[in-house]
Amino acid sequence: MFFAGAASGAPLKSPNVFALKHALIIGTRSSPLALWQAEFVKAELLHRFPQLDISLRHIKTTGDKILDSPLSKIGDKGLFTREIEHALLRGEIDLAVHSLKDLPTQTPDGLVISAITPREDTRDVLISKNGETLDTLRSNARIATGSLRRRAQLLAHRPDLQIVEMRGNLNTRFKKFNDDGTLDAMILAFAGVHRLGFDAQISEIITHDKMLPAVGQGALGIETRVNDGETNALIGTLNDFSTALCTKAERALLRRLEGGCQIPIGAFASLENQTLSLSAFIGSLDGARSVRKSLSRHAIVSIDDAEESGKTLAEELLHAGGKDILQEIRASV
């Protein structure tokens, strides 16, 4: 569900409503990146409404607790969001700040994505030991990632690579990578690397023609209770309508494909002069089979338009061989 009041992207002008709200509690994971995201939202709100008293509440999620198993093996429904959403439904917090790519495409009853923030660069990056790029890494190089999406696209581009499972928050991954003398490289999202100031470690920003990002990558999704009109009005002022249109197209595609952590799916949408360009990828776990499609739609002016585009491209992917790939993957996990 998406809060219609935030759809215009323009600040909502209702001083009487804003005056009623004096304090907000933000629910967040406690990783350095999650805290950066929560602090960013807090700062944006205080810039608009300096009278607010805003505090953060740290909440540990299932994905934070289970660190010794691949994400694809422990389920993919709200691994990094479920516990925060429960706290929101119980009224213990007023809003939740998530990486949009972590939010399942079905929002729980009673909750709403009331704002999607402007997007950071959506591309993935290569971190290598000696500055190598994806194309100059040695034959059979060992490259770390915890993402099946990245695995499938890496192997489609370089079948010789050895993929090593790596989990943990961004700081933990950098430590593991630097301490492990057998690893040649790892793949991370540019957004997180940039937000935490690790830009100097980037060996290559990987172009979308080689690797499409996760759905929603680079954007933050702010979740609130449907019936909390005061908070929704405040949070709606943070919504970036262009980003909302693009990510809604991507999420509609993912929802139609019934994808998640267990399925290698990448997608990216951009909007220029009301023309939506959307590309998406489905790949087998070994990278041997893949299908990639794109579409361009004009006069995209509403969330419904964007979501219809996402569903259309999903159908094209399924008919082009994606259905067989997905069935094969689901039978093996």
Which residues are the active-site residues? 102
Helices (H) and strands (E) in the chain, counts: 11, 13
Residues 79 and 102 sit within 8 Å (Cβ to Cβ): yes
φ/ψ of residue 47, rounded to 5: -65, -35
DSSP state for residue 6 in the 8-state scheme: G
Distant-in-sequence, close-in-space partners of 132: CB < 8 Å, separation ≥ 6: 126, 138, 141, 184, 185, 203
Retrieve residue 156's tokens.
């489609």
d(CA 263, CA 323): 12
d(CA 71, CA 66): 9
Largest Cα separation within the chain, whole Å, is 64
